[in-house]
Amino acid sequence: MPDMSHGAHAQPPTRGQRWSEFRKSPFWPAVVLVLILAAAAGLFAGSYTYSMANPTPHSIPTAVVGSYEQARGQAFLDGLEKALNASVKVHTYGSAAEARQAVEDQEVFAIFDIRDDGRTAVLSVSGASGASVAEVLADTAPVVGEKTGVEVTVQDINPLQEGDPRGLAIFYISLAAVIIGFVGAIQLSVHARSLTPFERILFTLAYALLGGFAIVAAVDWLLGALDLPFVESWMILALTLFASGMVFTMFNTLFGRWAMLPTWGLMILLGNPSSGGAVSWPLLPSPLGEIGKWLPPGASVNAQHMAVYFQGHQHAFPFLVLGGWALLSCAVFWIWRHRHPGGRERRPAHAES
């Protein structure tokens, strides 16, 4: 009986068969990746543009001391709130020393000292608390003072370091730690696929420690851009690298080869624009300003910022956030380690003899 599966009388493949063959071919994941990368490009540009292109004051905690209850002083504060769309959150203090302590503790971003029954005011901004916030207040206050008859003097009581005039260096080093953290984990999954779970955690910790040291050495020793408290900055960066790497490893365990999608979304699309590094939290859209504090990029920027400019006033919260993400990621990876695409099986005892 002649073979009729090929030739002129062969049945053409059905649409379902063609679709099945396409799904099994390398073209299917390639097409999916093209669409994902195109969407990621738009989301990446959109997330940064949304948060940074037009920073607008939303809630700026500000200290007020002196004659703020006098009519002219009150008119000045009211005019300032009106000029900034009621975004100045005023906290009154009994003395300039108390207000300065609040700045050091990062409870407020500036001090308005109303003097001479409201005729003069000294605005003490803190560039190190947030260069963008300091700039907004320093530009707005003199204009409002002219309209309300108050002579305003502006001073910076905690300026940025000379090598970092825009206050972006901390954002850059934290960004480097976040990106290298999960890129390192990706490379381990590709080039050291057979690592056991314990070995994978250990090597993630190893490149985190060495990477943190390299960042501090390059920025401080080599370039002199920032005078960093070496050990504290190193440990913050190492914890950031480790947390970022383990976040990818966790998602790799849960989602396999598509782990880069949630990692990129959490760390880059959401975490970095909301970190407060490039634009201070009071100038970010309100939801981002709150969310960013709970994500590794924001926690890293916050901890590094306090270490560099507010030594002795460090907060535990950013370390708890970084440590929490690292612990959660390690726990998820360890509990479901059998699902991770890497690892190697133990050799049977008889095979070793």
Q: How confident is the model at residue 280 (pLDDT cuts 50, 70, 90)?
A: confident
Cα–Cα nearest to 343, from 249, 208, 207: 249
Q: Are 213 and 179 in contact (CB under 8 A)?
A: no
d(CA 12, CA 23): 18
130 φψ region: left (φ > 0), alpha (ψ -120 to 50), beta (else)? left
Q: Are 90 and 98 in contact (CB under 8 A)?
A: no
pLDDT for 42: 82
Q: Which two tokens stand for residue 332?
A: 């998820």
pLDDT tens, position by position, 39-84: 878 877 777 676 666 666 677 888 999 877 777 788 888 888 888 8
Average of pLDDT values for 224-240? 95
Q: Where are the alpha helices (DSSP H) in the chain?
A: 15-24, 27-52, 71-83, 96-104, 131-148, 169-191, 197-216, 230-255, 260-264, 286-291, 296-309, 317-335, 349-352
Average of pLDDT values for 130-135? 87
pLDDT for 353: 44
pLDDT for 54: 63
Q: Are 318 and 300 in contact (CB under 8 A)?
A: yes
Instruction: For the chain, give the number of residues.
Output: 353
Read off the pTM. Answer: 0.83
pLDDT for 220: 94
Q: Which of 27-31, 232-236, 258-262 has the lowest mean pLDDT?
A: 27-31
Q: Are 92 and 68 in contact (CB under 8 A)?
A: yes
Sheet strands side by side (includes 88-92): 88-92, 60-66, 110-115, 120-125, 151-156
Does the pLDDT value for residue 291 go beyond 60?
yes
pLDDT for 326: 98
pLDDT tens, position by position, 106-115: 899 999 999 8
